[in-house]
Every structure is written in C-alpha cells, then in structure tokens.
Structure 1
Amino acid sequence: MLGTIVNALAIVIGGVLGVLLKKSIGEGYKDTIMKAIGLGVLIIGFKEALATGNVLLLMIAVIIGSLVGEALELEKRLQGLGDFIQRRMGSSESTFTKGFVTASVVYCVGALAIIGSLQSGLMGDHTTLFTKSILDGISSIIFASTLGIGVAFSAVPVFLYQGAITLLAGVVEPLMTDAVVQEISAIGGLLIIGIGFNILEIKKFPVANMLPAIIVPVIAGVLGFL
C-alpha cells in the first residue's frame, strides 16, 4: 500500500500548494490557465484513446458503461460526495465539486493506476506508483490553482481505488492481460477527452456515468474476445 499512500499524499500536497498559488493569480490568468489545462487534457485523452486495438469494443464498452452508470446515477452520486465534503469543510468555493470530480476521474482511469497498483500488490514494487505520484502531484498543483481545494480531496477515491487493486492484486492479476489493460487505458483516454470538453465548457459530458465502461474489457477478456 506504500505506493498508493504516497500517491494520495502527493495529490493532497499538490492540491494545497495549488490553492496557495491560486490566491496570487488574477482572474484573467486563471481563465487562460483553465483553457490551457483543458487543451492539455484533450491531448492526453486522444493519445490514450487512439491506442485502442479494437475500436468496436471501445464503442460498445462506452455505450454499456454509460447505460449502467446512468442507471446507478454515478455522476450524481460523485457530485453529491463532492458537495458533502464541501459542506463538511465549510468551503464556499463554487468550483469545489468540479475540481473533486475532474481530478478523481483523471487520476483513476489511467493505465498507470492499474499497472502500478498490481506491481505494488504482487511484487512490492512501488516504482510505477511513485512515478505516478510525481505526475499527479505536479498536475494537482495546476488543477488546484484554478479549481480549488476540491482537487486535493480527489486523493480519497484514488486511495480507495488503487488500494483495492493492490489488496486484490493476486485475484485480478490473471485477468489483466496486456490487451485488457490496453483497452482499459483507451477507454480511460476517451473519458479524459470528455473531461477536457467539460473543462473547456464546449459540451457537458456525464463522465462519471461512463466509468463502468472500464470493466467491459475485463469481461471481454474472460470471455475470450481479447
């Protein structure tokens, strides 16, 4: 669990530093930074999504995942969690929940989260998660400088998600073939593209409702389709 703990702490520290930095940034600069973040997130998303080896599976996974997520109201529940934390913190930031949801999805859906957690649980090798910690820590400074302290609280779902994979590594490792991880990463990239559009306010995508899509490649792998 060491890698996951370090990763969560990096997000918290980066988020706090970003909030401190936020106070010294003018509104005009914040708007420019947000647009730059949105464009950067889009690039990351497209890079990951285009790595798919099965476009049809990608489409089917997102459709099925969206239907399941819509039925479970995941977007509403995740936003509700963000609102709950905000109330408990007594924060009045208008971007608190947006920062929490955005950062939670971005930090959880990448391949590094899965691969690093498996390595940590199976071999005690935390190198990948330490690397992810550096990346997440730096990006959380940037996110929090415009979206606020909600970004720091994304450390909670990151800790729970990666921690669960680490603890269950022996069970899930046989299911995580290279092909499965590749498609999960591609689906994650597609969700990150949705986050990019949300940040740029081009089109609102209920990205959290699409999260169950990342389970579809695992099922496809078990059934022999991957």
Structure 2
Amino acid sequence: MLIGPIANGAAVVLGGLAGAFMGSRLPERLRCALPLTFGLSSIGLGIILIVKIKSLPAVILALILGAAIGELIYFERKIGEFGAFSKKLVERIAPAKQGMSAELFEEKFVAILVLFCASGTGIIGAMTEGMTGSPSILLVKTIMDFFTAAIFATSLGYAVAMIAVPQFIIQLCLVAAAGIIMPLISPTMMGDFTAAGGLVMLAAGYRISGIKLFPVANMLPALVLVMPISYLWTSYIHF
C-alpha cells in the first residue's frame, strides 16, 4: 500500500480546507509572517540540496535549457491557468476570497504548487518509498505540508486543496517508476538531480518571500533534463 503519497495528499487537502475555513480568523500578523518563514525554509532546503552537486556545468546547462523550454511552451502560464480553473471550480461550492488580484493569486499559487509538487523532499521521498517501501521521508513532508497549506489557504482560499491532485499524480508516478529508474541512476546523476531541485526550490523561496519573482514553473523541465545531461557530461565531456 502506498502510504506516503496518500498521506501527503490528504494533508494538503485537510490543511487547505482548514486554512480556507479559518481565513481572516487568524491574526493578520500570523498570516503575513508564516509565509515568509516558509519561503525562508524553502531557501534553506534549497541550499542544503544544492551542495550535493557533482557536476556544476551539467546542472547549469540543464537549468538553462529547461528554463528555455518552459518559456517556449508557456509552462508557468499553463500552471497559472490550472490555478484559475481550480479557483473557479471551488468557488461554485465555497465563497471566494476577497482582496487579492488575479495576478497576485496566480503568482502565489504557482510558487506554492512548485513548493508542494517539485520539492526535493517529495521527489526523493517518493522514489525512496518506491525502492524500499519506507514512507518515512514523505511522512515528514506530510507534517510540513499540512501547516503550509493551511497558512496559504487563509489568503488563497480552497483552491490550495486542489494542489493535492497534481502532487499525488507526480508522487504516484515516481513511486511506480522508482524500481525501473533507480538501478540506472549513478550517485553523480542523483546528486546533480538533487542540486537542480535545490536551485528550483531556492527560486521558489525567493518568490514566496517576495524577494524576486522568478519564473519558477518554467524551470521545472530542467528536472527532466538534468539526469541525461549529467550522464552525457560525465561520460563524454568531463575528464
């Protein structure tokens, strides 16, 4: 039985529902301060993951190519459209949150979607459960995601709970593919993949904290490219 993805998805749903229900009942200082803490946590986790890098040129190349692909296919715009669709869907059964522009909603929604779905903890945790059957890493993420979803839902509303859908699908695919992929992955490839995820999380942290509006979602194709590029670089270019 897949414990980790189910528990993690349930935490996002429950946290999103609880936070949206509480809404303005939470003190304003708490609703403003905690997202900054989450942004800082994302930055810190990103730094920890970046130091696992094995081949800097391969990671940078993957990041540049991935960001270029993301820009060309308007990946972030598509994720923003998913957020807008989620918002309209839940507004049919729940009242909309007031006082936030569509642009600000999209900016925040994209950042937290990346934080939930593309974090190194989630990816590594799902692959670990697929290989060993242990959900321990994803259970740690589950605890953090519950509170993160609750806080962001106080301002973004019930749409936050919808993030559980793509998150569950991604983790389910990773668990299923882990048994096939992991035997083919070298420590160098895994280190570079982890570092690329750390760079994406670093950008997401800057965005959540309001420091710099990185196009985080457009960087996600880099996570698909980094392992093949790392393999080719270390095999045929790096001496």
Question: Structure 1 length as normaliser, TM-score?
Answer: 0.86
Of 178, 182, 186 in structure 1, the residue corresponding to residue 195 of structure 2 is 186
CA distances 1:90-126 after superposition (whole Å, capped 9, x unpaired): 2633365444322221122233323322233344332
- In structure 1, what is the Cα distance between the partners aligned to 2:79 and 2:203? 16
Q: Which is worse superposed, 168-177 or 57-66?
A: 168-177
Q: CA deviation at 1:159?
A: 0.5
The correspondence of residues 1-226 of structure 1 with structure 2, limited to 5 A, is: 1-90=2-91, 92-93=96-97, 94=100, 96-223=105-232, 225=234
Q: How far did 1:11 drift?
A: 1.3
Say if 1:98 and 1:150, in contact at 8 Å, map to a contact too. no
1:167-211 deviation digits (Å, cap 9, x = unpaired): 222322223333222222221221122222222333221110110
Unaligned runs of 5+ in 1: none
Residue 27 and residue 34 in structure 1: after superposition, are their counterparts in 2 closer, same or farther (change >3 A)?
same
Give the letter for the 2:128 counterpart: Q
Q: Which secondary structure state, in structure 2, belongs to the residue aligned with residue 202 of structure 1?
A: coil
What is the rounded CA distance, in whole Å, between the counterparts of 1:208 and 1:135 in structure 2?
21
Return the alpha-carbon distance in structure 1 between the equivalents of residues 128 and 48 of structure 2.
24
Q: Give the 4+ runs in structure 1 shifted more than 4 A.
A: none
CA drift of 1:161 comes to 0.6
Q: Percent identity?
A: 30
SS at match of 1:52: coil
155 and 99 in structure 1: CA distance in 2 versus 1, 3 angstrom threshold = farther
1:118-164 CA-to-partner distances (Å, cap 9, x unmatched) read 23334433232223222322332333344433332211111011111
The aligned amino acid for 2:184 is L
TM-score calculated relative to the size of structure 2: 0.82
Shift of 1:82: 0.8
3-state DSSP class of the match of 1:23?
helix
Unaligned runs of 5+ in 2: none
Contact 2:46 2:202 in 1 (8 A): yes
- Kindly tell me: are residues 31 and 112 of structure 1, through their superposed partners in 2, closer, same or farther at Cα, counting changes over 3 Å? closer
Question: CA RMSD of the aligned region, Å?
Answer: 2.4
Query: Which whole-Å CA distance do the structure 1 matches of 2:36 and 2:131 have between them?
Result: 40
- Structure of larger gyration radius: 2
Contact 1:86 1:97 in 2 (8 A): no
Aligned length: 226
1:218 CA drift (Å): 1.6
